[in-house]
Amino acid sequence: MPRYYFDVKDGPLLADASGLECRDDEDARDKAKVIAEVIALDAPARGGTRGLVILNEEGNEVAHVPIAGSPE
């Protein structure tokens, strides 16, 4: 299975060094939505925009998922 990386963009970029195996881009988006919900619960927004940038194994951006509480 391909590996996807879920970088948090909250001003500075917090890179995901290990990633997760996902079936395809859609599965990666589904996992990103869950990750975004957990981040929103654990670390409320401090203002500004934040979200998850999903990258495939080649480093290409597949999607961007906003984190709740962010004005995106």
Decide if 40 is inside a domain: yes
Decide if 72 is inside a domain: no
Tell me the per-residue pLDDT of 6-42, one tens digit each, with 9 for 90 and over.
999 877 789 999 999 999 999 999 999 999 999 888 8
pTM of the model: 0.85
Decide if 52 is inside a domain: yes
Decide if 12 is inside a domain: yes
Per-residue exposure over 32-63, b if at least 16 CB sit within 10 Å of its own CB, e if not: beebbeebbeeeeeeeeebbbbbbbeeeeebb
Decide if 11 is inside a domain: yes
Decide if 53 is inside a domain: yes
72 falls in which pLDDT band (50, 70, 90)? very low
Q: Return the pLDDT at 71.
A: 45
Decide if 71 is inside a domain: no
Give the count of domains, the chain. Answer: 1
Decide if 31 is inside a domain: yes
In this predicted structure, the answer to whether residue 69 has a pLDDT above a threshold of 70 is no
Domain that holds residue 42: 3-66
In this predicted structure, the answer to whether residue 46 has a pLDDT above a threshold of 70 is no
